[in-house]
Each structure stands twice: as C-alpha cells, then as structure tokens.
Amino acid sequence: MSVFQTTIPDVADQEPMIQLLAPDGIRTPHDEFDAVLDGSAGGGGDDDLQTPERLRGYYRDMVMIRAADLEATSLQRQGQLGLWASALGQEAAQIGAGHASRAHDYLVPTYREHGVAWARGIEPWRLLELFRGISHGGWDPAELRTHPYMIVLGSQAPHAVGYAMGLQRDGLVGTGDRDTDTAVLALFGDGASSEGEVAESFTFAASFQAPTVFYTQNNQWAISVPTTVQSRVPLAQRSRGWGIPSVRVDGNDVLAVMGAVRSALDAARAGEGPRFIEAVTYRMAAHTTSDDASRYRPGAEEQEWAEKDPILRLRRHLEQLGEIDEDYVKRCDEEGHDLAMQLHHHIHGMEDPDPVMIFDHVYAEPHPVVDAERAQYLEYAAQFEDEETAR
Amino acid sequence: MTETRSGHATTLPIAKAITAGLRDAMRADDHVMLMGEDIGRLGGVFRVTDGLFDEFGALRVVDTPLGEAGIVGTAVGLAMRGYRPVVEIQFDGFVYPAFNQITTQVAKMHYRTGGRVTLPMVIRIPHGGGIGAVEHHSESPEALFAHTAGLRILAPASAQDAYWMTRQAIESEDPVIMLEPKKRYWIKGDVDPDHRPELSPWQARVLREGTDATLLAWGPSVPLALESAAAAEEDGTSLEVIDLRSLAPLDLPTVTDSVRRTGRLVIVHEAPVTGGLGGEIAARVAEECFYHLEAPVTRVGGYSTPYPPARTEHAYLPDLDRVLDAVDRVLQH
C-alpha cells in the first residue's frame, strides 16, 4: 500500500444513501432519523414531524409548489418572465429542508429554492419579481429569516458562516434553550459545491465551529455538466477532510431529508459545529427556460427519475397508511390550480417600475454622484413628459 | 459616543493613528470587530492591530484562516447579523481573491435587497508601492473599486485623517474600503481624537493654495505633491495642492473650484494611468471646466505595465522630477 492515503473510497457509489421512503412508498425504519422525526431525540424541537396531518401537509406543499413552478414556466413562455429556473423534481429536497428548519433558523438559498421559500412563507409571486426583472429581490431577509436568492453560485456560503459566527457571539448557540438556540442552513447545488467560496466556507465553519448546516441538492446536472465532472468522489465526502461530518440522503424522500436536516440543525444549534448533507435528487426540467436539456442528456434518464418522483412517493406512502383519500388529492390539485391562477393574476398586475428607481438604494447614505445623476435623469425624462402633454 | 478615547491630542504615526481609531471605535460600540490574517497575537504584519487582541479578545479580534473570500464573505454575514466588521487585507495584491465578494456581494447587497439590508463594514487595505517589496505587495487597485457602484473608498494621507477616517468608515452605514498608504505608515502627525473634524471624510481638502496650476493627489502621493509644490515655489511657480481623500464618491466641486482659478490640473497617483481614477477625474474636469482650462489635464502615474520588480520601482512610481516635468508641460501652454 502506498504512503499516499485517502480517507475516502475512490468509487462514487461506495457512499451509502439513507432512504426512509422507497419510490413505491414503502417505509423503512431508521433509528437515528426516526428519533429526530418523532421528536423523541430531544434536540431542537420535540414536535412529531411525521403525524399523518403533517405528512399530508408536505404532500400538499409539494403539489402547490409544483403547480406554481409549472405556471411560472408558462408565464415565461408567454413573455411575462425573462427567465425561470424550474425546481421540478426537487420538491421533497426543498419542502423537507424548509420544514425541518425551525422558524428562527436562518436560511441561505441559491436561486432555485422555490420549495424552501414556500416553506418559509415567501409567496411565489415575490420570487417572480427577480425573474420578471422588476426588482433584484422581493423580501426582507431579516423578517423572513431567509437570505436573498443568490445567482453568483457559492457566494452565499461564507455569508451563512458569518451569520453563524454572529449567532455564536450573540450567545444563541449551545445554551440548551431550544427557543433561542439558532443555526444557519446554507443551500447550494452540486455545481456550486466546486466553488472556492464553498471550500473556504467549510474551512471557516470548521475552524470556528460555526453553527452552519451545508446542504447540497445534487440534482445531477450543473446546466450541461454532470456531477461526476464536479467531483471525483461522492459529494457527501467532500466535507470530511475538513472535519465536517456529513451524510448522503435520498433527496426525493421527504422524510430522509427532514431527518438529516433537522438532525444536523439540532447538532449545530447545540454547539457541535457544522454538518454537511448531500440530498440526491434530479432536475427534471432544463436548467432554465433558456436551456435545452435534450442537447446533453438522454430522455431515458429523465424517465428513470420520473419513476422516483417525490410527490408520488409520499402519496403512495400515505395511501399505504390509509391516511389520504381521493378527495384530499383532488383538493390539493385544485388548490395548486388556484395558486397558479393567483400567480397569473399577480404577474399581470405587476407594473414596470419607474426607471428612476435605478438610482435608489445604491447607497444607504447620501451620495453626490448618484444624486446628481438622478437629477440629470429626471430633467432629461421631463422633456419627454412635456412633449406628451403638448400632444 | 462614549468618552473612552485613547487619549488627548497627540502625535502619532499613521499606522498608530489607525490603531487608535480602531481601539476607540471598539470601545464605543461592542459590535465593532476585526477580522484578518495575523491580526491577533502578531498585531498584523504592519502592527496596525497591535494590542487590540489583548484588550478585546479573540471573539472581537479574529485571526482568520487564510482565505480572503472567506474573510470578506463571513464579514458580510456578520454585518447582516448586526456586527460592524473591520476586515484587514494583508496586502493590496491579496485583495483579488476577495474580488467577487467585494464587487458582487458587498457592493450590491443594499441595492439588490431594495434597501432592506445595510452592510456597515470596512475593508482596510495597505496599498501602494515604494517599500522595496516582492511582487503583489505594492499595488494600487483603487480604480477597480471606484468603478464598482455601492462602495465608498477613503484614502487617508495624514495621521489625523487616518484616525478620523477609521472612525467614520466604521460609523458609515455603507461598506467602505480604506486604502492605507503603507509607505507612509510611519510618518507622524498630530491627532486630535477629542474633536471631530468639521470637514466631511467624503470631501477633498486644499492643503496648499496656489495660482499657476493645481496638483491633485491621494494617499501615498500627497506628501509627494506637497514636496513638489515646495520645490516649484523655489522656481517661482505657485502650485495649489489638493488631497482628494475620498476616492468614491469623488468630491468634484473642490477640484473644479480650484481648476477654475488655476486653469491647469496635474493628477498624481501610483496606479497605472490606463483606466485609472485620474482619467475619470480628467474627463469630468474637461466636461465642467473646459473654458477655464489653459492646458490639457495631465496625469503622472504608474506605467501601463504590471508593477515592476522592486529595484526598478523608483522609475515606475511618480517622483519629484516626474511631477515637476508634468507641471512644466502644463505651464508651457
């Protein structure tokens, strides 16, 4: 054996993937995650996350966000949005992560986290402001405890760690008070996991034991490049060299996702330092509405993943439990349809802002150069208003 | 503001004036914290944070891992959590790994959140050449940051400005880059920490009045401009000297008022003239003072080359002869 050693196996499929719900809905027990899911593990919360009512709620949420997602794609095709980044197929990975966090945790998303946003109470039409081009972001990060969407991939990861370092200084980590102990959930994709800023974030989080849970949705494709190009080893193993414990879960299994995320957040809140989770899922749509996935991936692969659908899987599980009926399914579909219609109406009610907004909020304090340019713009624009009036 | 100042009016080198500014800001507001490489027990490679680790501890004077994007990026998160981080970039040439964080995140967070998030953070960068250093230790990257909307840039050239600009940069609700003139770190000057200066940090200052031409400089080039004016006086030439102080926003009125009186402008900076801040100022002065100009606005700066090896930097950097040569040229018109 060579003196050159690696702590990780060199075959990608040697990393086990935790799954609680099989595609056919069959439930496999898992001691560690079940204790977290039913609240018996203590930790951050003692609420039971898998009561039939809660499970139906996750089902409904996934149906809703999928309906909103499909409508947003239609709105882009109708010219109402400049772009849409669909999260189809990632509903369990997102709804699960969103609901596993506690309300006072801070979430730091990338730009394809519509299910996470939904779980955090951000209405879908607020997401559309960015994609329509009427603002760069539609919510208050402090109020909703959710960072702005991030388009420069990976750049949000050090923000998450810094925020977590702030929590440490505020005495909100490891006190044992479950109402105040707080953690940060940093989300990014398989592509972004190659970014240097993600690596630096691992370093900072590990060095300072900052309460950060790094959560990557491995949706197999970074636009056209498969995950195998991003990493020689399973993504879950990437953090281990930093001393950050990690796990790989089935990202299309809402219960495995919730078990992992809640468990990791509990550990982070308790002062046990950062964690890393790889949720294995699939981007069912193209990268964005500007992309053509048929140029780089076989349709058979999409078909294979369609059979692992996260929504269908939870419905089958609920059916096996006898906890869902056709009425409920139908009602969810109708509510999804209503949400899509709401989205449609909202977008048609969104007026283009007055361009003078270009000059707003560049700085928090007065700035003579921007102020002068605003005045010049208004003077210039006023000439045309006079012409309009003269007609 | 609490009365916990380092002391009364005194004489300090620029580096120690910054130390005093940091100390007083940290005593006044316990959300002010420092982050950077080797700033703790060592006190920074230039000793600017000397003594602060002992006074404020490891949670407020943070020796970070070596990663500039991580340093600036975590400072963003801390600022969003209510802290006022002051980041030290060890040398100008090492700011580039943090360039993405500074330009896409720090500069734009307030704008992209519609004003909902402010980032009151300071990025301190020892900048400029003339210290005989190895590669990447002598750069003047101000134009890159001045070109980026959302950032403010201060360049103190005296001990008094070093103290107060440190305080005022930390107090600003906007992110501020403070470019510290590293070759002038040990030049002493009077510092009065008890009396807030009347002049805003965002305004230029006329250091010496004159009638024949205006010399505009900032940071490490300010003493050179003053020296040049003194030398010119011996030849009977009266030069006005302006310390620009704030590189973003530009205080144009102070410059144009002067140029309207003197009719001539020479801009001195260490950065390469190509795409440099001098070009922006020249364009604005041409737009606003065209009929007052007796000669083309002239720049004296680094050549359009990478920063050269230290044994040749004397030929690259503006010096007395090059400034006076430029003055002669504008006076020939």
| A188 in a structural domain | yes
Domain contains A196: yes
Are residues B211 and B284 part of one domain? yes
**B137 is annotated as an active-site residue:** yes
- The residue among B191, B222, B240 that closes a domain is B191
Q: Residues A273, A368: one domain?
A: no
Contact state of B73 with A157 under an 8 Å Cβ cutoff: yes
Whether omega for the bond prior to residue A158 falls within 30 degrees of 0, making it cis, is no
Domain match, A87 and A120 both? yes
Asked if residue B200 belongs to a domain, the reply is: no
Asked whether the beta carbons of residue A161 and residue B83 sit closer than 8 angstroms, the reply is no
Which residue in the list B137, B147, B269, B333 is annotated as catalytic? B137
Do B244 and B281 lie in one domain? The reply is yes
ipTM rounded to 2 decimals = 0.95
Q: With contacts defined as CB-CB under 8 Å, which chain B residues touch A129?
A: none
| Cα B34 from Cα B87, distance rounded (Å) | 6
Which of B191, B219, B234 delimits the end of a domain?
A: B191
Using CA atoms in the order A216, B107, B300, B125, what is the torsion angle rounded to 10 degrees?
-70
* CB-CB neighbors (< 8 A) of B173 in chain A: 364-365
Residues A338 and A378 in one domain: no
Q: Of B13, B14, B33, which Cα lies nearest the Cα of B22?
A: B33
Report the C-alpha gap between B66 and B5 in whole angstroms: 32
| Shared domain check, B261 and B131 | no
Q: What is the DSSP letter of B41?
A: S
Tell me the chain B residues in contact with residue A139 when contact means C-beta distances shorter than 8 Å.
Answer: 116
Is B2 within the bounds of a domain?
no
Structural contact between residues A146 and A101, judged by C-beta atoms closer than 8 angstroms: no
> Are residues A214 and A322 both part of a single domain?
yes
A297 and A379 both lie in a single domain: no
List all residues of chain A from 335 to 374 with a beta carbon under 8 Å from chain B.
Answer: 360-365, 367-370
Q: Do B77 and A158 touch (CB under 8 A)?
A: yes
- Chain A neighbors of B109, CB-CB under 8 A: 148
> B197 in a domain, yes or no?
no
Residue A42: the pLDDT is: 76
Residue in A282, A276, A281, A192 with CA at minimum distance from that of residue A230: A192
Are residues A68 and A180 both part of a single domain? yes
Separation in Å, CA of B107 to nearest CA in chain A: 8
Asked if B221 and B325 sit in the same domain, the reply is yes
Overall number of domains in chain B? 2
pLDDT digit of tens for each residue in chain A (391 aa)?
Answer: 788 877 665 555 689 999 999 999 999 999 999 999 998 887 656 689 999 999 999 999 999 999 999 999 999 999 999 999 999 999 999 999 999 999 999 999 999 999 999 999 999 999 999 999 999 988 999 999 999 999 999 999 999 999 999 999 999 999 999 899 999 999 999 999 999 999 999 999 999 999 999 999 999 999 999 999 999 899 999 999 999 999 999 999 999 999 999 999 999 999 999 999 999 999 999 999 999 999 999 999 999 999 999 999 999 999 999 999 999 999 999 999 999 999 999 999 999 999 999 999 999 999 999 999 999 999 999 998 877 666 6
Residue A5 belongs to a domain = no
Q: Which residues of B touch A159 (CB under 8 A)?
A: 73-74, 76-77, 80, 105
Interface test with A, best of B64, B74, B173 (most A CBs within 10 A): B74
Q: B251: which chain A residues are within 8 Å (Cβ-Cβ)?
A: 368
Position B3 scores a pLDDT of 46
Q: Supply the pLDDT for residue A45.
A: 60
> Both B138 and B262 in a single domain?
no
Distances, alpha carbon B212 to alpha carbons B32, B90, B217, B252, B330, in Å: 46, 40, 17, 19, 10
- How many distinct structural domains can be found in chain A? 2
* B150 vs A contacts (CB less than 8 Å): 362-363
DSSP strands (E only) in B19-94: 32-36, 61-63, 84-88
- Report residues of chain B scoring pLDDT below 50: 1-3
Q: What is the pLDDT of residue A391?
A: 64
Judging by beta carbons within 10 Å of its beta carbon (0-12, 13-18, 19+), is residue B195 exposed, middle or buried? exposed
For residue A62, give the CATH number of its domain. Answer: 3.40.50.970
Residues B250 and B157 in one domain: no
Mutate to test the interface with B, among A110, A134, A159, A374 (most CBs of B within 10 A): A159
Shared domain check, A117 and A173: yes
| Residue with the two structure tokens 């050269």 | B308
CB contacts of A363 in chain B (<8 Å) are: 110, 150, 152, 174
Nearest to A369 among B69, B85, B250 (CB): B250
Any B CB within 8 A of A158 CB:
yes
Check the CA dihedral A186-A35-A251-A200 and report its sign. positive
Strands (E), chain B: 10-13, 32-36, 61-63, 84-88, 122-127, 152-154, 176-181, 188-191, 205-208, 213-217, 239-243, 246-248, 265-272, 298-302
Looking at the fold, whether A362 and A336 belong to one and the same domain comes out as no
| CB pairs < 8 Å spanning A and B | 141
Question: Domain range holding A225?
Answer: 13-349
Q: Which of A137, A166, A200 sits opposite B82 (nearest CB)?
A: A166
Q: Answer yes or no: do B49 and B73 share one domain.
A: yes
CATH number for B290: 3.40.50.920
pLDDT at A43: 67
pLDDT at A345: 95
Which of A129, A188, A197, A360 is the mutation pick for testing B, counting most B CBs within 10 A? Answer: A197
Q: Assess whether B170 and B219 both reside in one domain.
A: no
The secondary structure element, H or E, covering residue A131 is helix A124-132
Residue at B40 is within a domain? yes
CA distance A75 to chain B (A): 23
Q: Are residues B281 and B322 in the same domain?
A: yes
- A303 and A285 in a single domain? The answer is yes
The CA distance from B308 to A22, in Å, is 64
Domain of residue B298, residue span: 205-331
CA terminus-to-terminus distance, chain A: 88
Nearest residue, CB atoms, A200 vs list B33, B69, B85: B69
Distance from CA of B301 to the nearest CA of A (A): 25
Instruction: Tell me if chain B has a CB within 8 Å of the CB of A212.
Output: no
Residues 6+ apart with CB under 8 A from B254: B203, B204, B205, B206, B242
Based on the fold, state whether residues A23 and A73 are members of the same structural domain. Answer: yes
Interchain CB distance below 8 Å, A167 and B80: no
| CA angle at B135 for the pair B141 and B228, rounded to the nearest 5° | 60
- Test A364 with B115 for CB contact under 8 angstroms: yes
The answer as to whether B276 is a domain residue is yes
Shared domain check, B131 and B36: yes
Domain boundary among B168, B191, B214: B191
Q: Does A15 touch chain B (CB under 8 A)?
A: no
B233 shares a domain with B123? no
**Any B CB within 8 A of A127 CB:** no
DSSP A31-95: HHHHHHHTSTT-TT----TTSHHHHHHHHHHHHHHHHHHHHHHHHHHTTS-S-----TT-HHHHH
CA distance A220 to B297: 57
CATH of residue B31's domain is: 3.40.50.970
> Is A380 within a domain?
yes
In a domain, A7, yes or no: no
Give a yes or no: residue A136 inside a domain. yes
Cβ <8 Å between B174 and A157: no
Asked whether residue A167 falls in the same domain as residue A107, the answer is yes
Q: Are residues B175 and B219 in the same domain?
A: no
Say whether both A133 and A273 belong to one domain: yes
A8 found inside a domain: no
CB B270 within 8 A of CB B239: no
| B152 domain residue, yes or no | yes
Residue A6 lies in a domain: no
- Return the pLDDT at A2: 81
Residue A249, SS3 per DSSP: strand
Distance from CA of B183 to the nearest CA of A (A): 30
